Amino acid sequence: MKTTIAALGLIGSTLAPVCFAVEGSVPSGVPHLDHVFLIMMENHGYSQIIGNPNAPFITKFANSANLATNYFAVAHPSLTNYLEVVGGSNFGVHSDNDPDWHNAACTPDLAAGTVNTDNPASGKICPIAGHGTEAATPALDTTNEVDPTAVPPQAEINIDGVHAFPAATNVSGKTIADQLVDAHRSWKSYQESLPLSGADGVNYSDGFYTQATDFTTITPTLNPALGQGDVVKLYAAKHNPFVYFKAVQEGQDARLSLANSVAFEGPRGLYADLASGNVPTFSFIAPNECNDQHGRGNAGAFCNYDPLSDGSQAGLNPALIQRGDVTVQRLVGAIKASPAWREGNNAIVLLWDEVEAHLHPQWQRLILPAMMKVVSSILLRDRAASVQILATTHAPLVLASLESEVDPDQDQLLNLQLDERGAAEMLVIPWAKYGDVTGWLTSSVPRKAAYAPRERTKTA
């Protein structure tokens, strides 16, 4: 038996877009695998998890396995990344919107060449099918999870905040599930807290109640009455990407249907399948939103969102991190105890979705101007003081925030790069204003720039 274990710090692709451009060619050099177990975690990066005292199992697991540290989430929000994971494309979706269940009259975004976004509001997502052009992935996204009325404009960081992907054309509206069925292999999407009744029509659930529950039928009526606001969204369709595809929703082929989405519990669930050894070729495993380190706002202190997420371990909810660590330990233990693990070549892949690039875009706009104001206040009190700030960045948001702060007579913009011998060299870049974030992003400056205010002996 040969087993392969891969623990990845971030999800997505390397810095080259991948899509099934009407299927594409089969990659070479990949050894045959009998079973692949993909475990999806949420909203944290390498520096927040590895070495965290509340994640001892994950840290040990990563250090004992193959560790990929140069992987990035493709975009925001979650659904976009989950579609990229199982289908190699965003299929025109840049939102977490619910499926437009079984709508045969709508035109998929992929076929129409449209993009489903939060801003402007796009509504439910037409079942994905056919062929067409996906959505481009900008380095900075102003259409999702931001306040469109904010001044200055807000943006979410895609990939690494510098690279962008053009829209791929001739994309096929299929996933790895289609390809497995065509190859006479099997798949399942294991979703913790999915109702035992199945995934059809379920946008969210706590394992018992869903967005479709009529709470007026539950008697006696409480005061205050039970309502949708009380449902903890542990299962979310946005974390089950297969249900967004027309072929899966319609289920004309029983091997490619909503019946392949099952809970962790139950006679066809994850733990029953592992115990029997009757597991599919590909297992997509999504813990619920308290156990995947995502967090919820109405599930109690142990599941609360992180108070602050700035790329470090400070400000994280320790209970949320610990829950995820225990969940991964349970899942890996159950997989390795399965008869299926002892047969053939198998792999566990552990991914985290949608991490921020250390600082939220809104904070990136504020951090250096705030630091410079602090310096100015120091110099007002002590004219003899000498203060220097050296900040390295590749973020256009940081650079754009300095346009009103820079004094070209005192401050410098430097470019850090390696020469042909591999030695670091520092070149002065003449200061120029590029206007908004887009201007800075498209300039040559943000690649490897360091902003270095010279020693200030007077206020700016």
Ordered per-residue pLDDT tens for the chain, 460 residues = 333 344 444 333 333 334 344 566 777 888 899 999 999 999 998 888 999 999 999 999 999 988 887 778 898 889 999 999 999 999 999 999 999 999 999 999 999 999 999 989 999 999 999 999 999 999 888 888 888 787 767 778 888 777 889 999 999 999 999 999 999 999 999 999 999 899 999 999 999 999 999 999 999 998 899 999 999 999 999 999 999 999 999 999 999 999 999 999 999 999 999 999 999 999 999 999 999 999 999 999 999 999 877 677 888 999 999 999 999 999 999 999 999 999 999 999 999 987 654 455 555 667 778 777 777 777 777 777 667 777 776 666 677 777 877 888 878 887 777 677 777 777 888 888 887 666 676 676 754 444 444 443 332 2
**Tokens coding 2:** 């040969």
Amino acid letter for position 112: A
